[in-house]
C-alpha cells in the first residue's frame, strides 16, 4: 500500500468506560465557550474581586504580625474600627467572614452574567441543530447529557467562586504565618465551596431547563434576564411598599412630633422613637417574606447563613459605643433576617421545577425523529 | 448473526409500529426496505436500544438489546436521516467530538477525525464551520462521525437524501467500500431501491410493522425460464411480430425486447425465428425480477 493512501484504516485503540462520559460533553462545552471573546473578558474582569479578596486577607495576615510593610496601607483603613485594628487577631474570623461575604456578593453578579453568556445555548442550540439524535445514538444516558451540560456551567461558576476563594484562602493562611488559623477559618473555605456548588446546581439546572424550552437561545437569555432582574426589582418594590406601610403604621402609634407638653424633651423622645423604630424594623425583618421573590436574594441569604455573616456583624456591632445603635447598625448592614431555610426551600422548589422541566421536553426528544 | 429479533411488538398509543416482528439477519450489507410507516425507523431505534419495546426479545452483535444498550451503541456507528449537527464547531472538531462521546481519548479522537475526514473526502473542508457545509457535505460528515470509532456495524438511515447524483455516487461508493472491503457490517435504510441494490447483498422488507420478505438480493430476484430479454442488430418490430404470431407475448423496453414464450416452448424458438428471417441476435438472457418488483410484490401481499 502506498504511504499516501488515505483509504479507511481500522482503529484499535481503547474506549473509556461509561462513568466519565459526561466529561466529554463538559470539555467540549468549555472549549466552545472559551472561543467567545466576550466570555473571556467577563472571566478576566470577574477575577479582579478575587485579587481584592486575596489582597485583603494577606493585608490582615500582615496586620496580625504588625508588619511594617503595611504601615502605608493602615492609614487608609479609617473605615475599620480602631479597636479591631488594635486587636486584629481577635477579629480575624469576623473580618475574613465579611471579606468572603463581600467577595461572594460581587461574584454572584458575575455568576449571573456568566450563566447568561454560557447557559442559554447549551440545550437550545442542540435542539435547533437537531443534535440530540447524535448524542443519544452514542453510548450516553440522559443523565450523562445533563451532567455534561451542567458541568459547563459548573466550570465557569467554579472559576469565579470556588477557585478564587480557595486561592485567596491559601494566600491568606500563608500570609498569616500561623497555621492555627486553619481550624478557625476552615468553615469559611467549606462554606464557599458548598455555596459555589449551590449556585452551580441551582442556576445551572434553571438555565438548562429554560434552554430546553426553546430552540432560540436569545429568548432563553431574555428569560434569564427576566428571572434575574425582574424578580430582583419585584422584590425591591414589594419591600419598599411594605416598608412604607410599616412606617405609616409605626407613625400612628409613635407620632413624629411629641405633644406640646413634652417639647422640652423633644430631642430625647425623637431618639427613643428612632431606637424603637430600629427595633421594630429588625423584628419585622424576621418575618418579611418579600425578599424571597428575588432569585439572587435567595442565593444571597443562603450564602450568609453558610458563612455566618450575621454573627460577624453582631460581634462587630458590640464595638459600638452606644448599645442603642446596635439595631440601627444591624438594619443597615446585616439582614434581611428571615429564616435562611425559607430561601433554601425556594431554591429547592426551583431545582425540582427545573428537573421536571428537563425531564419532560427531553424525554420526547431522545426519540430519533 | 448480525441481529435477531423475536416477536417484537412496539406501539405508540394506538399505532402499532412493530407487530410481533421476528427476523434474523446475517452479517454483511443489509438493505432495509419498506414503505413509509412500515417500522424501519422503529426497528433502528430498537436495535440502538433507544426505545423500550412492549414485548419481545432480541440480540444485536450477540448482545441483548434490552439490557446492554450502551455496550451495543459502542459497537455501532449511526448516521441519522435528518440534518443533525453539533453546533459551533468545525468539521474536524465535530468528528473528534463524536469520537470522544463514544469514549475515545481527545488525542485519539482528533487524530482519527483527520483520517476519516480524508477518507470521506472532506479533508479540504475540515476547518470550516459545519453550519456552512452543503447537504452532501453534511451527509458525508455524519458518515465520518459514525465511523470515527471503527464500529462493527454501521447504520445509515437514508444517507443519500437530498444529494446530487455525483455526491450520491460517492456516498454509495464509500458505503460499498466499508462493507465489502473493510469488513464492516452495514444496515442501509433507503427508499431508493437502486441505492440499496448498489450497496447491499441482502434485504429485509418491512410493511405494517411486519416482516414481508428477506433474503439475498440475488436469490430474491427470481429467474424466469420462460421470459427472455433479447436485443437484435436491427428490425426489432419484424421479429416481434413473428414471435407474436408464434404465440409469444412481446414488449419493447428501450433497446431490449421482452419475450414471454408460450407454455412448453424453449429458447430454441427465439434462435430459429431469428435465423428464419436472417436477423442477428446480439443479446439473449433469461429475465430476472428487479428489486423493485420484489419489493412491490412483497408489499402487495399485505
| Rounded Cα–Cα distance for residues A177 and B110 (Å) | 47
Chain B nearest-CA residue for A130: B84
Q: What is the mean pLDDT of residues A53-71?
A: 84
Number of H helices, E strands in chain B: 11, 14
Digit-coded pLDDT (tens) for A246-303: 888 877 777 666 666 666 676 777 777 777 887 888 888 888 899 999 999 999 999 9
Mean pLDDT score of chain A, rounded to an integer? 86
Rounded-to-integer distance, Cα B227 and Cα A339, Å: 92
List, as ranges, residues 68-127 from A with C-beta within 8 Å of B: 121, 125-126
Q: Which residues of B touch A369 (CB under 8 A)?
A: 82
**What order do you get walking across the sheet with B210-216 strand by strand?**
B76-79, B153-157, B185-189, B29-33, B202-207, B210-216
**Helix (H, G, I), strand (E, B), or coil: what is residue A308?**
coil
d(CA B65, CA B59): 6
C-alpha cell at A16: 473509556
B115 interaction partners in chain A (CB closer than 8 Å): 6, 9
* Residue numbers in B near A18 (CB within 8 A): 70, 103
Do residue B115 and residue A9 have CB atoms under 8 angstroms apart?
yes
Quick check: pTM over 0.80?
yes
Distance, CA of B157 to chain centre: 9
Residue B89 has pLDDT above 90, yes or no: yes
Taking only the tens place, the pLDDT of each residue in A131-159 is 988 999 999 998 999 999 999 999 999 99
Lowest mean pLDDT among A81-90, B17-26, B109-118, B147-156: A81-90
Answer whether B44 sits within 8 Å of A126, measured CB to CB: no
The span from the CA of A144 to the CA of A23, in Å, is 8
Contact call for B86 and A21, based on CB within 8 A: no
Contacts of B102 in chain A (CB under 8 A): 15, 138-139
Predicted pLDDT at A264 = 67
The residue in chain A having the minimum alpha-carbon distance to the alpha carbon of residue B45 is: A368
For residue B3, pLDDT over 80 is answered with: yes
Distance from C-alpha of B120 to C-alpha of B173, rounded to nearest angstrom: 10
Distance of CA A216 to the CA centre of its chain: 27
| Nearest chain B alpha carbon to A140 | B70
Instruction: Summarize pLDDT for A327-340 with one digit per residue, the tens.
Output: 777 877 887 888 99
Q: A139 CB near a chain B CB, below 8 Å?
A: yes
* Average pLDDT for chain B: 89
Look at A260-269, A294-303, A351-360, B92-101 and tell me which has the smallest mean pLDDT.
A260-269
Contact B119 A136 (CB under 8 A): no
**B25 pLDDT more than 80:** yes
Verify whether the Cβ–Cβ distance B73 to A138 is below 8 Å: yes
Tell me the pLDDT tens digit for each residue of A10-33.
888 888 888 889 999 999 999 999
A12/B106 touch (CB, cutoff 8 Å), yes or no: no
How far apart CA B149 and CA B168 sit, in angstroms, is 24
What is the mean pLDDT of the segment spanning A189-207? 95
Residues of A in contact with B83 (CB under 8 A): 129-130
Quick: pLDDT tens for B193-202. Answer: 889 989 999 9
Which chain B residue lies closest to A134 (C-alpha atoms)? Answer: B84
State yes or no: pLDDT of A369 exceeds 60.
no
Smallest CA–CA distance from A139 into chain B, residue = B70
pLDDT in tens, A205-229: 999 999 999 999 999 999 999 999 9
Q: Residue A2: phi, psi to the nearest 5? A: -65, 150
Closest residue, chain A, to B44 (C-alpha): A368
Q: Is A20 on the interface with B (CB under 8 A)?
A: no
Among A11, A26, A362, pick the best mutation site for testing chain B contact (most B Cβ within 10 A). A11
Contacts of A364 in chain B (CB under 8 A): none
DSSP state letter for B86 = -
Q: Which of A60-74, B135-149, B270-284 has the lowest mean pLDDT?
A: A60-74
Probe site for chain A from B88, B118, B181 (most A CB atoms < 10 A)? B88
Contact partners, residue B216, CB within 8 Å, separation at least 6: B201, B202
Percent of chain A with pLDDT over 90: 51
Chain B environment of A131 (Cβ under 8 Å)? 84-87
3-state DSSP assignment of residue A12: coil
Q: What is the pLDDT of residues A81-125, one digit of tens each?
A: 778 888 888 888 899 999 999 999 999 999 999 999 999 999 999
pLDDT of res. A189: 94
CA Rg, chain A, in Å?
Answer: 26
Contacts of B104 in chain A (CB under 8 A): 13, 15-16
- Cα gap A253→A169, rounded to integer Å: 50
Looking at chain B, the whole-number percentage of residues with pLDDT higher than 90 is 47
Q: Are strands B153-157 and B185-189 parallel, antiparallel or unpaired?
A: parallel
Return the residue of B nearest to A129 by Cα: B85
| Band of residue A367 on the pLDDT scale cut at 50, 70, 90 | very low
Amino acid at each position: 500500500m502506498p504511504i499516501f493512501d488515505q483509504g479507511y484504516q481500522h482503529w484499535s485503540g481503547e474506549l473509556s468506560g461509561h462513568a466519565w462520559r459526561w466529561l466529554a460533553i463538559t470539555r467540549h462545552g468549555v472549549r466552545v465557550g472559551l472561543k467567545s471573546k466576550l466570555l473571556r473578558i467577563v472571566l478576566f474582569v470577574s477575577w479582579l474581586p478575587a485579587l481584592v479578596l486575596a489582597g485583603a486577607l494577606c493585608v490582615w495576615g500582615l496586620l496580625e504580625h504588625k508588619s511594617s510593610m503595611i504601615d502605608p496601607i493602615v492609614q487608609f483603613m479609617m473605615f475599620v474600627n480602631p479597636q479591631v485594628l488594635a486587636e486584629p487577631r481577635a477579629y480575624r474570623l469576623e473580618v475574613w467572614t465579611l471579606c468572603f461575604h463581600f467577595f461572594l456578593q460581587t461574584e454572584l453578579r458575575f455568576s449571573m452574567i456568566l450563566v447568561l453568556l454560557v447557559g442559554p445555548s447549551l440545550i437550545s442550540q442542540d435542539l435547533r441543530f437537531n443534535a440530540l439524535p447524535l448524542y443519544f445514538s452514542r453510548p450516553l444516558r440522559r443523565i450523562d447529557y445533563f451532567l455534561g451540560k451542567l458541568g459547563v456551567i459548573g466550570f465557569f461558576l467554579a472559576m469565579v467562586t470556588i477557585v478564587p476563594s480557595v486561592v485567596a484562602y491559601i494566600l491568606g493562611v500563608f500570609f498569616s504565618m500561623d497555621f492555627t488559623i486553619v481550624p478557625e477559618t476552615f468553615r469559611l473555605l467549606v462554606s464557599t465551596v458548598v455555596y459555589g456548588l449551590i449556585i452551580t446546581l441551582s442556576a445551572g439546572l434553571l438555565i438548562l431547563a429554560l434552554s430546553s424550552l426553546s430552540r432560540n437561545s436569545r429568548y432563553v437569555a431574555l428569560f434569564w434576564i427576566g428571572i434575574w432582574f425582574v424578580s430582583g426589582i419585584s422584590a425591591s418594590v414589594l419591600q419598599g411598599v411594605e416598608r412604607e406601610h410599616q412606617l405609616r403604621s409605626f407613625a400612628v402609634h409613635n407620632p413624629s412630633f411629641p405633644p406640646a407638653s413634652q417639647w422640652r424633651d423633644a430631642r430625647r423622645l425623637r431618639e427613643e422613637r428612632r431606637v424603637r423604630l430600629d427595633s421594630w424594623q429588625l423584628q419585622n425583618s424576621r418575618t418579611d417574606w418579600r425578599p424571597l421573590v428575588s432569585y439572587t436574594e435567595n442565593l444571597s441569604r443562603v450564602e450568609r447563613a453558610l458563612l455566618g455573616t450575621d454573627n460577624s456583624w453582631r460581634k462587630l456591632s458590640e464595638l459600638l459605643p452606644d448599645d442603642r445603635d446596635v439595631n440601627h447598625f444591624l438594619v443597615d448592614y446585616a439582614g434581611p433576617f428571615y429564616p435562611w431555610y425559607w430561601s433554601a426551600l425556594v431554591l429547592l422548589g426551583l431545582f425540582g421545577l427545573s428537573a421536571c422541566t428537563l425531564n419532560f421536553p427531553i424525554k420526547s426528544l431522545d426519540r430519533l425523529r | 448473526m448480525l441481529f435477531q429479533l423475536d416477536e417484537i411488538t412496539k406501539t405508540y398509543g394506538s399505532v402499532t409500529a412493530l407487530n410481533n416482528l421476528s427476523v434474523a439477519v446475517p452479517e454483511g450489507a443489509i438493505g432495509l426496505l419498506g414503505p413509509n410507516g412500515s417500522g424501519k425507523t422503529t426497528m433502528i431505534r430498537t436495535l440502538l436500544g433507544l426505545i423500550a419495546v412492549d414485548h419481545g426479545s432480541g440480540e444485536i452483535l450477540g448482545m441483548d438489546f434490552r439490557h446492554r444498550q450502551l455496550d451495543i451503541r459502542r459497537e455501532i456507528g449511526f448516521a441519522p436521516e435528518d440534518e443533525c449537527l453539533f453546533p459551533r464547531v468545525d468539521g474536524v472538531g465535530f468528528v473528534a467530538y463524536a469520537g470522544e462521546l463514544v469514549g475515545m481519548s481527545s488525542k485519539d479522537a482528533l487524530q482519527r477525525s483527520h483520517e476519516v475526514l480524508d477518507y470521506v473526502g472532506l479533508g479540504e473542508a475540515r476547518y470550516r464551520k459545519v453550519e456552512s457545509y452543503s447537504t452532501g457535505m453534511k451527509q458525508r460528515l455524519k458518515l465520518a462521525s459514525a465511523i470515527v470509532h471503527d464500529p462493527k456495524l454501521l447504520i445509515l438511515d437514508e444517507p443519500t437524501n437530498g444529494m446530487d447524483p455525483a455526491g450520491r455516487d460517492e456516498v454509495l461508493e464509500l458505503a460499498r467500500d466499508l462493507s465489502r472491503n473493510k469488513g464492516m457490517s452495514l444496515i442501509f435504510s433507503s427508499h431508493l431501491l437502486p441505492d440499496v441494490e448498489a450497496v447491499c447483498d441482502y434485504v429485509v422488507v418491512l410493511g405494517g410493522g411486519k416482516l414481508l420478505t428477506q433474503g439475498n438480493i440475488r436469490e430474491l430476484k427470481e429467474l424466469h425460464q420462460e421470459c427472455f430479454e433479447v436485443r437484435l442488430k436491427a428490425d426489432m418490430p419484424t421479429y416481434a411480430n413473428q414471435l407474436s404470431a408464434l404465440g409469444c407475448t412481446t414488449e419493447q423496453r428501450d433497446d431490449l425486447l421482452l419475450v414471454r414464450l408460450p407454455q412448453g416452448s424453449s429458447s430454441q424458438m427465439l434462435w430459429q425465428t431469428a435465423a428464419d428471417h436472417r436477423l442477428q441476435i446480439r443479446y439473449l438472457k433469461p429475465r430476472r425480477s428487479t428489486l423493485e418488483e420484489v419489493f412491490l410484490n412483497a408489499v402487495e401481499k399485505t
